[in-house]
Structure 1
Amino acid sequence: MFDTMTFTKILGGFCGAFLIFLMGKWAAETIYHTGGGHGGEEHAMGYAIEAGGGEGDDDGGAAEEGQSFEELYAAADPGKGEKVFGKCRACHKLEDGANSTGPHLYGVVGRDVGSVSGYGYSGALSEAADVWSPENLDAFLEDPRGYAPGTTMSFAGLNKASDRANLIAYLDSIGD
């Protein structure tokens, strides 16, 4: 039943299938290029989605370059901040005690960090700051994971300083 020719055909079939599998893997890696980037630079696995282009983003970036946060915050427009808050609305609520994915932001400006009762914080925030001052909020909103490494907040941050200042002015007008 099993002679040398049958054994050779079976072994050849397995080797051929394995070769086709390896060639398919190589072709897929070439097409999708999951390795490093061009010239040795690394690329992240995913796409960056810019959240800009909304009505709160009408200030030019050139106007911010020479201004400090204090100057931007003094000239901030809470109305524009309300529009910027649309980016936060998916995870945060403004009603006192109404926690969602994130803690409520009612009276957040000047509030102790990690002080919302009934919300389970990750612990990384309390190591970063004691009070949510406008300056601390500005630094956190610019780069949440850079400001408080280990935070569970998945928001990438707000790049424009004027958007951050407007948002903080809006949050300051909500609450106590």
Structure 2
Amino acid sequence: MDSFEVNKVAGGVLGTLLATMGLGLLAGWLYSPAEPGKPGYDLPLAAAETAGAGDSKTAAPAKPLPVLLASASVEKGASLAKACGACHNFEKGAAAKVGPPLWGVLGRPVGGVAGFGYSEAIKGKGGDWTLDKINAFITSPKGYAPGTKMTYAGEEDPQKRADILDYLHTLSDNPQPLPAVTDAAPADALPASTEPAKKG
């Protein structure tokens, strides 16, 4: 092979290499990725928490329990409590089911039904059942007493919980009076159409 042929082959190889390199540079210029403003990216959970934080600034403040009880309905509470009848009895002197009977629950010692197999989480609570304790418990049983055997997920709606509490407080031979609005909340927190708190 003479020098002319060698030069042709070398020129072809060099031309191919230059063309390949040129195409690579052109493709990199055309399809270059955008540089992020900061390294990494926001996780969906963090974005949801940020959105929730913004919403909480505009959310209405929670009404105190006495205000909710002032507009509660025993009839609505009895209707809502029917779902609890699968595990609890409401009649005076009725035996326990899966859960303890609820007659006289308000003012009764927590875990105080003799012979019922309470979880250690409930046994360890101590004190008596008050409206505030029952409200916290039915909001989230597992949140109030981690390890409880109660499988009920809880009631998120504060007014529905107040209706249930209004019903439960009547399950007694001598119902305790409901707290007056003035005891825990200013009068202007009460809606204009609501009457003063009901008494036992």
> Which TM-score band applies after superposition, normalised by the shorter structure?
0.5 to 0.7
Q: Return the TM-score normalized by structure 2.
A: 0.54
RMSD: 1.8
- Report if aligned partners of 1:111, 1:132 keep a CA contact under 8 Å in 2: yes
Partner SS state of residue 87, structure 1:
helix
Under a length normalisation based on structure 1, what TM-score does the superposition of the two structures give? Answer: 0.61
Inter-CA distance 66–144: structure 2 relative to 1 (3 Å threshold): closer
2:149 is the counterpart of 1:152: yes
Listed one character per residue, the Cα deviations across residues 47-74 of structure 1 (whole Å, up to 9, x for unaligned) are xxxxxxxxxxxxxxxxx85421121022
The one of 136, 139, 142 equivalent to 1:142 is 139
Gaps of 5+ in 1: 1-38, 42-63
Given the superposition, is the C-alpha separation of residues 139 and 129 from structure 1 closer, same or farther in structure 2, using an over 3 Å criterion? farther
Q: Residues of 1 paired with 2:126 and 2:139: CA distance?
A: 15
**Aligned residue pairs: how many?**
116
How far apart are the structure 2 equivalents of 1:130 and 1:80? 28
Same amino acid, percent of matched pairs: 38
Moved over 4 A (4+): none
Map 1:157-168 onto structure 2 (within 5 A).
Answer: 157-168=154-165
Distance in 2 separating the partners of 1:136 and 1:155: 16
Which of structures 1 and 2 has the bigger CA Rg?
2
Residue aligning to 1:87: 83
Residue 111 in 1 paired to residue 111 in 2? Answer: no
The amino acid of 2:157's aligned partner reads K
Matches of residues 4-83 of structure 1 in structure 2 within 5 Å? 66-83=62-79
Structure 2: segments with no counterpart, 5+ residues: 1-42, 46-59, 174-200
